[in-house]
Structure 1
Amino acid sequence: MSPAPPVPVVMIFAGNDPSGGAGIQADIETVASMGCHAAPVITTLTVQDTHDVIALVPLDADLVIAQARAVLADMPVAAIKIGLLGSPAIAEALVELLEEHRHIPVILDPVLAAGGGHDFDGDTLATAIRELLPLTTVLTPNSVEARRLAPEADTLDACAMALLACDADYVLITGTHEHTPRVINKLYGNHRLLETYTWERLPHSYHGSGCTLASAIAGLVAQGQEPLSAIHQAQEYTWEALRAGYAVGGGQLVPNRMFWADDETPDLD
């Protein structure tokens, strides 16, 4: 394998969103914003807009893994970000691949449904995604996804404990779907609650916010940051991207992941 390049490589497993709001384009924009090179592996083709997903066609699992193997043989991948997988078969194949590359940190956004409500075969896919948790560095479910991944739990804290028991290193449960005046995100690790983050609740809904957060964590980890630092800074970046979001369609707003290019935007450092 060649020596590490000056720009860290982040491999991304995600679906293609033709609206450009979520999925692989959201991931690429975010990873680039973190100063990294994106290596995108397409898992699924979708028909969707800013309202909802209309149709979804997962690729053959062998083709997904072949894309990844070609890059892993050629580039020193510094982090892996996983988004929409689309089918249990892809999730199962990915377990085998990650087992071979345990040294690479994995950021997993367990996408089970679209922001507009379209379900991606959630219960079956959730079962397959749980097999990835022992290989996961940071898991980033929203509260709805956390409850589906840990259906036996009766509180979000219990969901987090159940997911940690599956051997994920860290679990960050985001609270945008909860009916609270402010958004409360909670980070768990080492069998306990580590930190609570509180953010101003913005007035809109956004297409691709979960992709943005997980990809930002992956990019920062690829840059050499420890997960705790990366998780905090990625939330700041995501909140600013949402605050600067814009409407390009008739549905959800799209996060402005290049907000930092605006000279009037204050530096986050």
Structure 2
Amino acid sequence: MLQPPPIVLSFAANDPSGGAGLQADVLTIASMGCHPLSIVTAITVQDTAGVDDVMPLDADWIVDQARAVLEDMPVHAFKIGLLGSVEIIAAIAEIISDYPHIPLVMDPVLTSGRGDELADEEMVDAMRELLLPQVTVLTPNSLEARHLAQQENDNHGTKLGLNLCAQRLLSMGCEYVLITGTHENTAHVTNTLFAADGVVRADDWERLEHTYHGSGCTLASAIAASLANGLSISDSVIEAQDYTWHTLQAGFRPGMGQYIPNRLFWTKENEDAANENAEVVIEKPND
């Protein structure tokens, strides 16, 4: 019998546009050679422009979905995306706590690309208290990092430095924090991986001209898949960044909003390479 691929379980919301959420996670995880398990946390009304509505599922449904597959299959990594409610956060935190040996990658989805609020302050507090202490790699963009790291005594209007944000998030219990620099005013996008003893690595990427729906989901899922494939934290982070950048470079605009990452970009590359290497048969002329 063939050895099954590594398995990654994702907790995320359904995205009917296919750009973000569970659809992005499933495509990414499968594209990186793993088998995806998908636990629906919420139903959304959204397109490539933004999120119009979110209907969180009952927390018991999340528990039943997750327990059913966890009791049936060995999971090699967890990935968390949009959650939907405090009750769902608490339920997932309890499930994850039963599997402390499985790495957990969390994309803290607080707003949509358009700026639609997807997590209120009560949910943010629950994330800090219940989930962050269990996270292996947290993958906030710079806006999310500042929001999660904000404290009551901070001066309003003061922009927190990303090093300070990382220190605060690590002090909440995260093992590693990867802060992405897409929203920073820099020539290149710099993504920095932090651990308790400081910067592990900082990677610069060419800044692409478009905005993308589902880039954060893609990156977090790619890290989870890389960890499931047995790579180290540092190698998983660089492998996932490389994969994500290429999905963005090959991105497409199917609707009237943002571009969508092409998680299967490599199929076109393989097809082009096969065409280039195809043997050309030349008929031998008659003597």
Q: TM-score, normalised by structure 1?
A: 0.95
In 2, Cα distance between equivalents of 1:116 and 1:174: 18
Structure 2 SS opposite 1:186: strand
How far apart are the structure 2 equivalents of 1:265 and 1:61?
46
2:279 equivalent in structure 1: none
Query: Among the aligned pairs, what percent are the same residue?
Result: 52
What are the superposed Cα offsets for residues 8-56 of structure 1, whole Å, 9 maximum, x if unpaired? Answer: 1100000000001000010000000110000000001000000000000
Is the aligned partner of 1:20 residue 2:18? yes
- The reply to whether residue 163 of structure 1 matches residue 149 of structure 2 is no
Across the two proteins, how many residue pairs are aligned to each other?
Answer: 263
Amino acid at match of 2:144: E
Distance 1:219 1:239 in 2: 16
Query: How do 1:1-269 residues align onto structure 2 when only pairs under 5 Å count?
Result: 5-130=3-128, 131-152=130-151, 154-262=160-268, 263=270
Equivalent position SS for 2:76: strand
Give me the whole-angstrom Cα distance separating, in 2, the residues matched to 1:99 and 1:121. 22
Cα deviation for residue 121 of structure 1 reads 3.0
- The residue type equivalent to 1:34 in the other structure is M
CA distance in 1, matches of 2:7, 2:39: 13
Please, which runs of 5 or more residues in structure 1 have no aligned partner?
none
Moved beyond 3 Å, runs of 4+: none
Q: 1:180 to 1:78 in 2, by over 3 A?
A: same
- 2:41, 2:83 within 8 Å by CA — same for their partners in 1? yes
More off after superposition, 151-160 vs 163-172 = 151-160
Following superposition, the deviation at residue 264 of structure 1 comes to 6.2
Q: Secondary structure at the match of 1:32?
A: helix
- In structure 1, how many angstroms separate the alpha carbons of the residues matched to 2:145 and 2:197? 16
How far did 1:213 drift?
0.2
Q: Distance in 2 between matches of 1:5 and 1:99?
A: 28
Query: Residue 112 of structure 1 contacts residue 145 of structure 1 at CA under 8 Å; is this kept in 2?
Result: yes
Tell me which structure has the larger Cα radius of gyration.
2
Q: Distance in 1 between matches of 2:106 and 2:197?
A: 19
8 Å contact kept, 1:259–1:265: no
**Contact kept in structure 1, 2:135 and 2:174, CA below 8 Å:** yes
- TM-score (norm: length of structure 2): 0.89
